Amino acid sequence: MHCIVSGMRDPDLPVRVDSVFALRCFVEACKDLNEIRPILPQLLDEFFKLMNEVENEDLVFTLETIVDKFGEEMAPYALGLCQNLAAAFWRCMASSEADDEADDSGALAAVGCLRAISTILESISSLPHLFLQIEPTLLPIMRRMLTSDGQDVYEEVLEIVSYMTFFSPTISLDMWSLWPLMMEALNDWAIDFFENILVPLDNYISRGTDIFLASKDPDYQQSLWDALQSIMMDENMEDSDIEPAPKLIEVVFQNCKGNVDQWVEHYLRITIARLRRAQKPYLKCLLVQVIANALYYNPALTLESLNKLGVAADIFNHWFAMLQQVKKSGARVNFKREHDKKVCCLGLTSLIALPADKIPAEALDRIFKATLELLVAYKDQVAEAKKENEEAADDMDGFDADEEDDDEVDSDKEMGVDDEDGDEISSLQLQKLAAEARGFQPADEDDDSDDDFSDDEELHSPIDEVDPFIFFVETVQALQASDPARFQNLMQTLDFRYQALASGIGQHAEQRKIEIEREKSEKANAQ
């Protein structure tokens, strides 16, 4: 280590650069960070001096490795790191623009600077106050690179915007000024980045709901509608290209409950138009879930809009047909994730609350039975996921114990993990955090897979606090209280199987109430 530090202070620039590469290897292999911890400030100083002299991606990669290793311990240096990386980024961009014929090392280093900034933001994700300090340093980069000037680094810049809008205590008006830039890019040239743009847009709507609803100049609601209408009605757009659109409509309905009545019919109209020609099962599910979210948002208004559009019967027939599709294995073809099932349950349950003149007896019977079956499937999937998580945790405990027993063994070599594997693991961590930020998972590319694609533990949305079993039981109890005869007629149409399912769901709802109270109590005691 002493030799490496000495090399970083060598008069010859090539020696200093080589020492940085050696340091990266040392840090990656280091098991006792106390060897580095006392000299960390000096190391960072040498880094910054070197970054002022040369554009080299190895410098940035080494810095990323140090940040990754020390995590929250980098907090005292986070602002300085971001300031130096931002300055290095601008230098790299300037040299890259000045000499188009030069090799792409400057461009690579620029991308590396942005990735290193993302790594720093991840490392301080539990310290939101630091984001306010760092924001002024990063704003000029975000403002410039969210235009067409930033096409080569657009994905990296969007990741930074995602972190800033998710972990900051509040989203500042300066950060809101980036919304029109993203919308302009999306409407013009950035459709290939729609899935990436989804992340910060979700954050703006879910974490800055009041501003999203109140602002008229710019009008965020109108600009979102303009973009989504254009994308969803474009017949040249492939199904996979527009998947973020219904996800964003869901974000609006779930976060703006009671405040976007004027948009319900508009969003339903473009959703149904796209559903008529959608081919991919995953997109069909997302589009039907827009209708389910609208029903949960306001069942009477949604049903009125569907009737006005003349599609109510067709839509419900299509929805129920999708719910009944199963493979030979018995697995559902559609609505594979826990989230999909929950959204459908909340939408269908909301219909049960409507009066008899809105929902005929035959329709109520069909809705009730479909919801029961869906709740049972949801219950089973949640239980299976919980079991798998517990088993995975046990496996990790065993892995950690084995690792402790073999402290003197080079575990990376023994497991066949090389540098590329390490980069992949880091990338997976970033992807997981990005998924957490946006509250959405990528589509299941293999529509024929027997496995339900599910990363639901990463999903965060306003319906997290709504238990579908309790919601269902309380809705049915309200029906019983308000219209006993209608409730009695409904119960009489149920055969023994559905009566048993209803009884089981009722018991599970009571159990969930107890569990939720216990969880609240434990959370309160932990604070």
Alpha carbons 195 and 201: distance in angstroms, whole number: 10
> What's the pLDDT at 95?
81
Taking a C-beta distance cutoff of 8 angstroms, is the pair 140, 150 a contact?
no
**Above pLDDT 70, what percent of the chain?**
86
Task: Express each pLDDT in 143-182 by its tens digit.
Answer: 999 999 999 999 999 999 999 999 999 999 999 999 999 9
d(CA 142, CA 165): 12
**C-alpha angle 242-245-246 in degrees, rounded to nearest 5:** 110
In contact, 344 and 289? CB cutoff 8 Å: yes
How far is it, in rounded angstroms, from Cα 162 to Cα 292? 27
Q: Percent of the chain beyond pLDDT 90?
A: 66
- The pLDDT score that the predictor gives to residue 51 is 84
Query: What is the reported pLDDT for 200?
Result: 98
Residues 6+ apart with CB under 8 A from 147: 181, 184, 185
CA distance 348 to 358: 14
Per-residue model confidence as pLDDT tens digits over 36-83: 898 888 888 888 888 888 877 888 888 888 998 898 899 999 999 999
pTM of this prediction exceeds 0.85? yes
Within its chain, how far is the Cα of 67 from the centroid?
23
Tell me the pLDDT tens digit for each residue of 192-226: 999 999 999 999 999 999 999 999 999 999 999 99
Assess whether pLDDT exceeds 60 at residue 485: yes
Within 309-418, where are the H helices? 312-324, 338-352, 361-405, 411-414
Phi first, then psi: give them for residue 172, nearest 5 degrees.
-70, 165
Residue 372 has pLDDT above 80, yes or no: yes
- Average pLDDT of the chain, as a whole number: 88
User: Would you state the pLDDT for residue 397?
Assistant: 65
Whether residue 218 is preceded by a cis peptide bond, meaning omega within 30 degrees of 0, is yes
Mean pLDDT check: name the lowest of 97-106, 289-298, 316-325, 468-477.
Answer: 97-106
